[in-house]
Chain A
């Protein structure tokens, strides 16, 4: 049985090898039972979602502008 501290570490750190099936099941079960850990995870997801919503999208014609500059330069050379 993993402790709350271990669960927090597991859900916030991105392991290069990924988690084993057993670890994922263990995390899922823990989060169903632990209000504090599940609150933390919920908040982190919400923070990520809100952060992403603040992202400034490049203008729709970005590709065309760059292409135009590249082709124009090619013509001049």
Chain B
């Protein structure tokens, strides 16, 4: 059963909300794709295997489905096959869908199951829980009154070098798996936090904490790489 989250908002800003926060601002607004707005006629056409209707759904949703698959750690070639299989299953289960959920939510639910099957078929574990639950990476950097004891080092040299991308990828590999997954989905694939929570079946609060840990742990790894400078 695909859960229908109350995610009728969409991400409208990315990094800079103007007040220095790096979290996302959500402005409530209809979150219907062009596809959903005409879903009744579209479903009827899909049921009749109308190529134009199929093309509309594929063009509207392929890229996002592919990004989710990549963000979930599926290799590129397999991700394309998975997305293809999502549409196949969608067409086969069209009668069950019948417009009961947003098309996007329905397709993502199918993708989630496909990824689960993919991992299972290859004997891969689902992404396990983090082993650093409860560990506050930043706590030792502050005194009892919450003031900096060990301020962030200057990363200007590293972040402005040609090797910045490689260094970040290397540190990303060292993150606990679930933090790496969330960082990929949120920061690299640019997915909405609520959609990530639904995809991973975790609470919004837990999701927020994992993103917090992933960001700080990644930065900490870069700092420990030793490329500190003095002109941030």
Q: Which chain A residues have a beta carbon within 8 Å of chain B's beta carbons?
A: 3-6, 8-16, 18-19, 24-25, 27-28, 30-31, 36, 38-56, 58, 62-63, 65-67, 69-71, 73-74
Contact = CB atoms under 8 A, between A and B. Distances in A.
Contacts of A16: 193-194, 203-205, 207-208
B38 interface: no
B84 interface: yes
**DSSP majority for the A interface?**
helix
Contacts, number: 165
Q: Top 8 closest A-B pairs, CB basis?
A: A3-B146, A16-B204, A28-B19, A5-B146, A31-B20, A13-B212, A36-B151, A14-B208
B138 A5 contact: yes
Given A14-B211, A25-B19, A70-B91, A39 B147 contact: no
A67 B146 contact: no
Interface in B14-52: 15-26, 49, 51
Contacts of B152: 36, 39-40, 43
B146 A6 contact: yes
Q: How large, as a class, is the contact surface on chain B?
A: 35 or more
Given A31-B20, A40-B152, A3 B145 contact: yes
B84 A66 contact: yes
A47 B218 contact: yes
B148 A36 contact: yes
B25 A18 contact: yes
A25 B24 CA distance: 15
Given A43-B219, A47-B159, A12 B22 contact: yes
B101 interface: no
B91 to A, nearest CB: 7
B225 interface: no
A16 to B, nearest CB: 3
A58 B26 CA distance: 27
A46 B76 contact: no
B195 interface: no
B215 A54 contact: no
Contact of A43 (B91, B159, B165, B205): B159
A38 B20 contact: yes
B154 A13 contact: no
A11 B208 contact: no
Interface stretch (B54-62, B107-115, B117-125): B54-62
A8 B204 CA distance: 19
B63 A58 contact: yes
A10 B21 contact: yes
Interface in B190-216: 190, 193-194, 203-205, 207-209, 211-212, 215-216
